[in-house]
Amino acid sequence: MRVLIIGAGIFGASAAYHLAREGVEVEIVDEAHQGKATMAGAGIVCPWATKADEPDWYKMYAAGARFYDGLIEGLKAKGETELGYGKVGALVVAEDRAEFDAAAERVARRVKDAPEAGDVRHLTPTEARTLFPPLREDLDAIYIPGGARVDARLLSAAMVRTAVSMGARFRSEHVTLTLGGDRARCLDSNGAVIEADEIVVTAGAWAYQILGPLGLIHPVKPQRGQIIHLRLPGVATAKWPVVLPMSSHYMLAFDDSRVVVGATRENDTGFDYRVTAAGELEVLTAGLNIAPGLANATLIETRIGFRPAGETMNPTLGRVPDIANLTIGNGLGAGGLTIGPFAGAQLAKLVTGQKAEIPLDRYAPQGRG
């Protein structure tokens, strides 16, 4: 079997890696778009605190977090060391006491079936600030030791490199899809056919452009996220936990005295790759409200990423019903960095005729309109 994967973000990179592990002949095609969600995203892996309570969605979210330990172990066994992943713990905070208590109840209920979350405990404001010094002085926290951060650029690159080391091929190129009977065909930038038995489209926010010529209605649009990177010169931030306020914003730290604050969720922007005044204001206001100790940090950059966001929380995962050789993985939205590696492995199973680890029927793509 020869499988062509279009899109090498964290989703497609995982699919390629897991297919290559099975001995499948894999070719990966990726176009260097500005604003790829994987390239911009600073990821937090901590599903137990999410407000989303839809059972099937949460089940996938939790499976995504659980999947990481085995993934990281497998990549390390192949010699990869630059993975961008660290299990640094998570602090869940909230300004409203009722909201904090609700979060504590939700986390306690969920971690009963998630030993990977670790020994969850309530921290006083002083204890919380010991772990994340810039925090406000009046915020209690729920500490989840199993929470993790991930640099999606590094992890995706490691999965692609490992797939290539096992025989996969990689090319950076613009491709298009056409129909030939009931099968999809992929054409390179010169119009030549790229031979493949199976085609997997994991092209993020650009997928609808690729799938449109096939007559497919793909309900995923770009959602702009503006993510601010700060530096605290001389401060050792490598072991700071991620911070999860009960809002759409978050904070996490990396090894180079860097703290990331994100992110806006802007719909109907198209691929407008700009840092805006309103976006900067929103993110900095939210961040400094929770962590005023960051006020004197150096603002070093703002990254733009376009999340592939659907009309509902449900992603698109599975084989297209009336195109015999086409599989789609998309629409993970803000959950992409938690779920992406797990979901990519599930697509690899579908393509090779195996059963996915969780039911995916409800996420199946639509056929041609």
Give the orientation angle of helix 152-165 with respect to helix 10-21, to 10 degrees. Answer: 30
Kindly tell me if the per-residue pLDDT of 243 is higher than 80.
yes
Beta bridge partners of 328: 201, 318
pLDDT digit string, tens, across residues 311-352: 776 789 999 998 999 999 998 877 888 999 999 999 999 999
% of the chain with per-residue pLDDT over 70: 97
Question: Taking every pair of C-alpha atoms in the chain, what is the biggest distance, in angstroms?
Answer: 66
Average pLDDT in the 169-192 region?
Answer: 94
- Count of CB atoms situated within 10 Å of the CB of 248: 14
Read off the pLDDT band of 291 (50, 70, 90).
very high
- The rounded distance, in Å, linking the Cα atoms of 299 and 226 is 13
% of the chain with per-residue pLDDT over 90: 76
Which one-letter DSSP state was computed for residue 215?
A: T
Query: Is the peptide bond between 207 and the residue preceding it cis, with omega within 30 degrees of 0?
Result: no
Region for 312 from its dihedrals, namely left if φ exceeds 0, alpha if ψ lies in -120 to 50, beta otherwise: beta
Residues in the chain: 369
Using alpha carbons, select from 153, 150, 166, 157 the residue that is nearest to residue 64: 150
Kindly tell me if the per-residue pLDDT of 368 is higher than 80.
no
Average pLDDT in the 220-232 region?
Answer: 93
Give the per-residue pLDDT at 333.
Answer: 77
Give the per-residue pLDDT at 46.
Answer: 94
Read off the pLDDT band of 37 (50, 70, 90).
low
**Burial annotation 297-319 (CB, 10 A radius, 16+ → b, else e):** beeeebbbbbbbbbeebbbbbbb
Average pLDDT in the 215-230 region?
Answer: 90
Kindly tell me if the per-residue pLDDT of 42 is higher than 80.
no
Using alpha carbons, select from 357, 352, 355, 353 the residue that is nearest to residue 24: 352
pLDDT digit string, tens, across residues 101-145: 999 999 999 999 999 999 999 999 999 999 999 999 999 999 999
Residue 179 phi/psi, 5° resolution?
A: -100, 140
Beta bridge partners of 148: 45
Give the per-residue pLDDT at 220.
Answer: 86
Read off the pLDDT band of 253 (50, 70, 90).
very high
Using alpha carbons, select from 270, 331, 345 the residue that is nearest to residue 63: 345
At residue 151's C-alpha, the angle toward residues 75 and 123, to 5°, is: 105
From the centroid of its chain, how far is CA 193?
A: 31
Give the per-residue pLDDT at 332.
Answer: 84
Token pair 């959950």 is found at 335
pLDDT digit string, tens, across residues 48-79: 998 877 888 889 999 999 999 999 999 999 99
Q: What is the pTM of this model?
A: 0.93
Residue 94: exposure state from Cβ atoms within 10 A (0-12, 13-18, ≥19): buried
187 touches 314 (CB < 8 A)? no
Read off the pLDDT band of 353 (50, 70, 90).
very high
Read off the pLDDT band of 310 (50, 70, 90).
confident
99 touches 93 (CB < 8 A)? no
Read off the pLDDT band of 25 (50, 70, 90).
very high
Tokens describing residue 135: 């925090």
- The rounded distance, in Å, linking the Cα atoms of 26 and 83 is 22
252 touches 262 (CB < 8 A)? no
Range from 140-144, 300-304, 353-357, 365-369 carrying the lowest mean pLDDT: 365-369
Strands (E) in the chain, as ranges, are 2-6, 25-30, 42-45, 85-86, 90-93, 121-123, 141-144, 148-151, 169-172, 176-180, 183-187, 193-194, 198-201, 220-231, 242-245, 250-253, 258-262, 298-310, 316-319, 326-330
